[in-house]
Structure 1
Amino acid sequence: MSPSADAPSSRTPAEVLGLSAGQLVQEFGYDDDVDLDLRDQIEDAVEGELEYEDSQEIVDAVIVWWRKDDGDLTDALVDALSSLTAGGPIWLLSPKPGREGTVLQADVQDAASTAGLRVMSTVSLAPDWLGTRLASRA
């Protein structure tokens, strides 16, 4: 985990994610444990609702809520890339260390690399959730 993962920030989580009004953001992995305040902030920032997993829209960014037992992370990241505009970020949101469902950063690195992505940064976005920004290696 990078040193910035628990550093306080005066920026809102949506600002940290780099999202702005009018962008389309697709969401994968929604479940009853997601941080609803964070979701609301993201929707406020883009001034619209998040696109569902099965949306066929080309999107500007993707957020993926991911827990240790959710399946194959590489497959999920490849799915997330399918509707993402070139150069758009994928934000992998995972439980912080010590929380149920924590994902090891080594597993994130491996899955990202296999999916053709690289880890750019990891930040604290909510009380129980880290955000890891992934970008294309190209």
Structure 2
Amino acid sequence: MNATAGQADVKSLADRFGIEPGMVVMEMGYDDDVDEDLRDTLIDRCGELVDEDTDEVVDAVLLWWREGDGDLVETLIDALGPLTDNGVVWLLTPKAGREGHVEPSDINESAPTAGLQQTSTVNAGKDWTAARLVVPRNARAKQR
């Protein structure tokens, strides 16, 4: 693969994440194993990523999560705190066979417990998979 094809793949990934200029994106779980190309692409699209201590309301959460990082349900609930009504949580986990891989069944059990629903999965780089999690529409209506 040549560099421009790789860059096109990364740009389309920003589109698949639904990140638009001006959006506020919070990042949680950053460590030295994250996909820097993905981060750079999202930063190019929306500006800087805010950290989990932000007081801002956010449009999306980029949550890097590995097996052994703690309680996924609690972390997902924390991610919901600053999220807009129509916001999305992108749960990034290492792919199968990579250190820190999280079983899909763990996500399938944790997301609904935290009040979220998985809508899709995206290949987010050579080592990461991203699950798109949202608050179900019927739950949003009840919150109002």
Q: Same fold (TM over 0.5)?
A: yes
Alignment partners' CA distance in 2, 1:38 and 1:10: 7
Residue of structure 2 equivalent to 1:109: 108
TM-score, with normalisation over the residues of structure 1?
0.90
Query: Number of residues paired by the alignment?
Result: 129
- Deviation of the 1:13 alpha carbon: 1.4
Give 5+ residue unaligned stretches, structure 1.
1-8
- Give the Å deviation of 1:11: 5.9
What is the TM-score when the length of structure 2 is the normalising length?
0.86
CA deviation vs aligned residue, 1:62-90 (integer Å, no higher than 9, x gap): 11000011000000100000000002110
Provide the aligned C-alpha RMSD in A: 1.2
Q: Which has the higher contact order (CA 8 A, sep 6+)?
A: 1
Alignment of 1:5-16 (within 5 A): 12-16=12-16
Q: 1:43-62 CA deviation, whole Å, 9 max, x = no partner?
A: 0111x110011111101111
Looking at secondary structure, tell me which structure has more helix per residue.
Answer: 2
Unaligned runs of 5+ in 2: 1-8, 140-144
Q: How has the CA–CA distance of structure 1 residues 10 and 69 changed in structure 2, closer, same or farther, with 3 Å as cutoff? A: closer
Runs of 4+ that moved beyond 6 A: none
Instruction: Give the Cα–Cα distance (whole angstroms) in 1 for the partners of residues 59 and 26 of structure 2.
Output: 8
